[in-house]
Amino acid sequence: MSALDSLDTVLEDRSLETIWLATTNNYGWVTRADNRINTGHPVGVAAIRYDGTEPTILTANIEADRIRSEVEEFAVEEFDWYDTTLAGAIEARTNEPAAADFPVSGLEEVDLSDVRQPLDSTAIEDYRALGRETAEVLESVCRTLSSTQTEREVASTLTGRLTERAMSVPVCLVGGARRLQRHRHFRPTDEQLGSYAIASVCTRRRGLVVSATRTVAFDPPEWLTARHHAAARVHTTAVRATQRVASDDGTASDVFSAIQNAYDVVGYPDEWQLHHQGGAAGYASREWIATPNLERQVMTPMGYAWNPSVQGTKCEETVLIGDSGIEILTSTGEWPTMTTEPVGSKQPIDCHVPLDRSK
């Protein structure tokens, strides 16, 4: 189902005449473009107006010409930036029963994360390209790392190389050996990488977001392989559980139960409590994050990004789960892998392993 078909259903189900979309996730879903100037803000500088006919875009005069060139298929209406805000301009142009995906006075506020699922065929092709290119850049940079580089140097290189591929980079985490066992979110610092390093990125293009992680070892700690294998086994379990739960019309909590059990089996029963485990992915880095009690439907075809971690190790990919099975989108075939059997399943998956640079 296309984005506009899904919005038709929203209008009908909520008895609305009009819906306005200005958050980055929803704008990208409808237009395959980006409405942000301030990348740290979830609401962009332009809003889509949809009433069941042709969508239009509303934005300030300083953005209008650029947006017309980026989204040629939609008409663009503009207001003077010094007269009002985007929310104020929407309020002034809306009389009928209407909603918006961000706060606008007098309008119902709606969350469309469920409506953005599952992915349509056009999105899937875009997603494949983004996943492959993200992995290509991530792996090419990681192959060149040295133990004396700083975390910030690596993050700068990664961000620059990804930007060259027309991606924005909402997340770029690089951690060296000392900090990786202390922090699950390893924001880069001026510390040198040391004996091993992990790099994690989220990239966005044409509205879609993928996530991936790679590990490089220069003088690997003796425990690195075993802990990484434990995280990989949890990851593989999560992926296979997602596939099974989707076919059974189950929910995120069902997948999370399998994740908890996997941590127990691999010998780290409480590890899931120290970091979120991931969830559905698409027009957000996570459309939802699984928890023990989250009753969100597991849909296909859909992207999923699970990111289990075990005491200084992490396994993370973006996978597409659909009728044809499991497709690892963030894979190039050029990085070392190991065949990993999920807990409770005889269907193994190849998982990436640390690249050993000590040899």
> Which residues does 111 contact at the CB level (< 8 Å), separation at least 6?
101
Give residue-wise pLDDT tens across range 53-102.
Answer: 999 999 999 999 999 999 999 999 999 999 999 999 999 999 989 999 99
Q: Tell how far CA 154 is from the center of its chain.
A: 21
Give residue-wise pLDDT tens across range 303-316.
Answer: 999 999 999 999 99
Res. 40 pLDDT band, cuts 50 70 90? confident
All domains in the chain, ordered by first residue: 3-109 (3.40.350.10), 121-356 (3.90.230.10)
The percent of residues above 90 in pLDDT, for the chain, comes to 97
Res. 209 pLDDT band, cuts 50 70 90? very high
pLDDT recorded at residue 96? 87
> Which residues does 81 contact at the CB level (< 8 Å), separation at least 6?
60, 61, 62
The whole-angstrom separation of Cα 162 and Cα 134 is 7
pLDDT recorded at residue 3? 96
Q: Is the pLDDT of residue 1 over 80?
A: no
Helix axes 24-31, 3-13, angle to 10 degrees: 120
**Residue 115 CA: distances (Å) to CA of 29, 128, 191, 293, 357:** 10, 21, 43, 21, 45
Res. 18 pLDDT band, cuts 50 70 90? very high
Give residue-wise pLDDT tens across range 160-196.
Answer: 999 999 999 999 999 999 999 999 999 999 999 999 9
154 phi, psi to nearest 5 deg: -65, -45
Give residue-wise pLDDT tens across range 221-245.
Answer: 999 999 999 999 999 999 999 999 9
Strands 75-79, 168-176: pairing is unpaired
What letter does residue 318 receive in the DSSP assignment? Answer: E
